[in-house]
Amino acid sequence: MVSIEEEIVRELSRNSVSALATVVSRAGSAPRGVGAKMLLRADGSSAGTIGGGSVEAKVVREAAHVIETREPKTLHFELKAKDLAEEGAICGGDVTVFVEPLAPDSSDLLEIYRTIGAIRRKGGRSVLVTLVSADDPHSAEETAKALFGDKGLLVGSLPDDQDLIQRLRPEIDRVLGENRTEVLTVQRAGGEVRLLLEPVVSDTTLFIFGGGHISTCLAPLAKNVGFKVVVIDDRPDFANPDRFPQADRVLVDGFEGLLEKLEIDENSYLVLVTRGHLHDRVVLEQALRTDARYIGMIGSRRKIRMVYERVVKDGISPESLERVHAPIGLDIGAETPEEIAVSILAELIQVRAGK
């Protein structure tokens, strides 16, 4: 699945003007949260979604005007019960969408999104700050955007640079720590400005240990919802690209000492579905020494208890086992490999969403 950032780089590299729609506020049960994005091209095609329905249709129409005039727009929508009933929808609430032009001649835009792409692929952390509105009308004539890393400004600019940057620094550090998109209002001499702060971190990567039936069902599902997928098995017949065409990487390697060779960070999700207790235990002991966001292990409660007892004997603290999702997946009564894969993916999405 190609990311919105990659699509933006493509459009800018083609010298095409496009528009980026971003949800900047939501109240009630509107379908997408703050930070949801949709790229709208001059030819009428699009990538991503901000929730569909009448809101998205109206944003698409307004985006054509934004592309033509190259002036950003903030759109407010009240989703009333009557309107929702007419289109058969059930999600209500208030939504605000910021639609900004992305033009190839706009200062630093291409470099900003190329840098974001590199961070997604190779790792690192940054915050993208976008001017959404300002009391001073001259500040909003052209979209202002800047990318900040741990040590300061990486690329781009904001109005009233230095003073605003100094005031933003604690907020940027906080957003980096919480890894949560938000809109911030800053008071200054010329009035207030509203800024969208979006954390940019490495792609969420799903490492699947074991290349059996469940893995062949899980890999394409996870890829379709935005995970990078890496499958590892020590058997060449199972760790086979033909068996996992959707995977980003398929590795043949032994499980002992394996995780030292992999780039595991706080955006990594580890699923242990190897062919037996021994391999699961070997991977689990290594997994618990990483910063992985999610560790899940398949097995009956008896098997899990046996594995836990052994890893504790090997020096793993009982408290650290609280990180492990076992039995793996949400309890939906799954029995077949396909159903189990769905239950695992549902749990991965739940953890990724912070629910």
Q: What is the DSSP letter of 335?
A: -
Q: What type of residue is 289?
A: R
The C-alpha atoms of residue 152 and residue 166 are separated, in whole angstroms, by 10
Q: What is the DSSP letter of 314?
A: T
Which pLDDT band holds residue 340 (cuts at 50, 70, 90)? very high
Span 63-84, average pLDDT? 82
State the sign of the Cα–Cα–Cα–Cα dihedral 165, 168, 170, 176: negative
Q: Considering only residues 330 and 125, tell me which one the structure prediction assigns the higher pLDDT.
A: 330
Alpha carbon 199 to its chain centroid, in Å, reads: 10
Report pLDDT for 193: 83
Report pLDDT for 31: 63
What does 53-97 look like in DSSP terms, one character per residue? Answer: HHHHHHHHHHHHHHHHH---EEEEEEE-HHHHHHTT----EEEEE
- pLDDT of 235 strictly over 90: yes
Q: Considering only residues 162 and 17, tell me which one the structure prediction assigns the higher pLDDT.
A: 17
What are the backbone dihedrals phi and psi of residue 32, each rounded to the nearest 5 degrees, phi first?
A: -120, 150
Percent of the chain with pLDDT over 70: 91
In the Cβ-directed half-sphere of 342, how many Cα atoms lie within 13 Å? 8
Which pLDDT band holds residue 149 (cuts at 50, 70, 90)? confident
Q: Considering only residues 345 and 82, tell me which one the structure prediction assigns the higher pLDDT.
A: 345
pLDDT in tens, 288-297: 999 999 999 9
Distances (CA, A) of 37 to 4, 7, 52, 280, 308: 8, 12, 11, 38, 42
Which pLDDT band holds residue 143 (cuts at 50, 70, 90)? low
Report pLDDT for 29: 61
Report pLDDT for 136: 52
Which pLDDT band holds residue 255 (cuts at 50, 70, 90)? very high
- pLDDT of 10 strictly over 90: yes
Report pLDDT for 67: 95
State the sign of the Cα–Cα–Cα–Cα dihedral 149, 154, 156, 160: positive
pLDDT in tens, 107-139: 789 999 999 998 888 878 899 999 988 665 444
Task: Return the ∠ at Cα 246 (arms to 242 and 250), rounded to 5°.
Answer: 60
Percent of the chain with pLDDT over 90: 58
- pLDDT of 174 strictly over 60: yes
Which pLDDT band holds residue 354 (cuts at 50, 70, 90)? confident
Q: Considering only residues 215 and 299, tell me which one the structure prediction assigns the higher pLDDT.
A: 215
- pLDDT of 88 strictly over 60: no
The C-alpha atoms of residue 71 and residue 159 are separated, in whole angstroms, by 16
Report pLDDT for 140: 46
- pLDDT of 80 strictly over 70: no
Report pLDDT for 134: 67
Report pLDDT for 58: 92
What lies within 8 Å, CB to CB, of 231 at 6+ separation is: 208, 211, 215, 219, 239, 244, 247, 249, 250, 251
* Average pLDDT of the residues of the chain: 87
Report pLDDT for 246: 92
Among 37-41, 63-67, 314-318, 351-355, whose mean pLDDT is lowest? 351-355
The C-alpha atoms of residue 229 and residue 223 are separated, in whole angstroms, by 6
